[in-house]
Amino acid sequence: MKKSNQRASGILLSITSLPSEYGIGTMGKAAYEFVDFLKKSGQSYWQMLPVGPTGYGNSPYQSYSSFAGNPYLIDLSILCEEGLLTQEECRSYSWGNTPARVNYYVIEANRLTLLRQAFARGKDDPALHQFRQENAGWIEDYALYMGIKNRMGLRPWSLWDEDIKRREPAAMDYWRQEVKEDIDFYCFIQYHFYKQWNSLRNYAHENGIALIGDIPIYAAMDSADTWADGKVFMLNENCDPIDVAGCPPDAFSATGQLWGNPIYNWDYLKETDYDWWIRRLRHITNMFDVTRIDHFRGFAGYYAIPYGDQTAENGQWRTGPGMDFFNAVKRHLGQVDLIAEDLGYLTPDVIQLREDTGYPGMKVLQFAFDSREESDYLPHNYDHNCVVYTGTHDNDTTRSWFDTADPADVEHAKKYLDVCDKEKGAWAFIRCAMMSTANLCVIPMQDYLNLGGEARMNVPSTLGGINWQWRMVPGAASEELAARIRELTELTCR
């Protein structure tokens, strides 16, 4: 693997987008084949989206846990090879009829049913019990939370009965017995998630591919994190948030973005030497070689919106923990490889914090071609210590950008890239990014495939629709495409 200060490149692809069997991308054969594709393409990195269990809306940025893995990513065929399921059982369920889309309705309806069948056959595995002991610091609370949540009709924990909402000892003892089978089941799921994860990660490393993970800055309100570690968050006496996270109004949203995540109690975190965050970062940096921290600016200053507001218009900026937090990270974890997602509204304190940490920031080419003014995202303005993307999971595909962006911006891009045909626009973006001085270049797989807006991964501040559904069809990651990517990679010395 290349050192972080050497020129390198990689591909951004969510595991869910792999063309695996049974309706959604998993850590099985298709994932190993994608590692092979990366190697043939001359790539050094596979960047993923967060891999935690998703809740309502299926967003990987709104997870039930900062430590658990997504059960949907467990490969069923591997469970069949281990004798926990049969292919006939897996094929007896519907997994959707559109190969280029995840049908979350059928995934939600059928996946856990099959995993419970596997649990009935594998719950006595001695290695499972050892895994559970080694991960007791988070797995017991997570499994109990999921067990109670199922019994409560999937209601958020803030709407549970008062005694268990507040984790009163008698209620905790009662529910541990009441949902014991569910607790064992969810620990079983995590054992197999991490067993498959470690195998895939080792295969990637054996083939010279490093993994880039993604950590949302905020935890979901409805999560095991906020239920089990309430002091970490700004909650009132009724366990409701005092303020919630979001972004202020801007040119893209007249009323701002209302995310709804609880704000951190940074005073308490400082008193504990940021213990919860250190445990969270230790966990993810053990999983990944490099970690992208989403919404990095929140460590310099964060936007707090009164709980109950329907828009983000009445929020206030507050000072974040700054270098005090990152100094604690260095004390506890040493030098960790992080990418600072420093997009959006940047003030001098955010820029200074990024420079003080030394972490590379992000450059997105789709933001570069503002016809009204010079942009920091134009490649001739880069320094080496950054990561360049054509777009991210929140952007449209680059091919679609040529159809939907401001016509003046599109013309500016065509002149800068010296391209006339929008059919070749995505590859012109890719070539420009690869030729830039950025140490690392990461391209979404959709752009290498030159796909249109139907392949967009997410539209920010929206729920449902096409969000998180896109899948790569079988055969798309072809030998011909690998050869073309490798040629450009070698040409640009990555």
Contacts (Cβ under 8 Å, ≥6 apart) of 67: 52, 135, 138, 139, 142, 280, 283
Quick count: other Cβ atoms within 10 Å of Cβ 199? 16
416 contacts 408 by C-beta, under 8 angstroms: no
Q: Which residue type, as a one-letter code, is found at position 244?
A: V
Alpha-carbon 310 to chain mean position: 26
Strands (E), 263-368: 290-293, 301-306, 316-319, 338-340, 361-364
Residue with tokens 């500016």: 412
Can you tell me the distance from the alpha carbon of 460 to that of 450, in angstroms, rounded to the nearest whole number? Answer: 22
Can you tell me the distance from the alpha carbon of 26 to that of 421, in angstroms, rounded to the nearest whole number? Answer: 36
Quick count: other Cβ atoms within 10 Å of Cβ 411? 13
Structure-derived torsion over alpha carbons of residues 151, 157, 159, 160, reported in degrees to the nearest 10: 50
439 contacts 7 by C-beta, under 8 angstroms: yes
Contacts (Cβ under 8 Å, ≥6 apart) of 253: 247, 312, 461
Can you tell me the distance from the alpha carbon of 73 to that of 95, in angstroms, rounded to the nearest whole number? Answer: 14
485 contacts 34 by C-beta, under 8 angstroms: no
Residue with tokens 């609370």: 141
Q: Give the chain's end-to-end CA distance (angstroms, integer).
A: 12
Residue with tokens 């445990």: 279
Active site residues: 294, 341, 394
Can you tell me the distance from the alpha carbon of 308 to that of 306, in angstroms, rounded to the nearest whole number? Answer: 6
153 contacts 161 by C-beta, under 8 angstroms: no
Dig out the tokens for 320 from the structure.
């974040």
Considering only the C-alpha atoms of the chain, give the largest distance between any 2 of them, rounded to a whole number of Å: 70
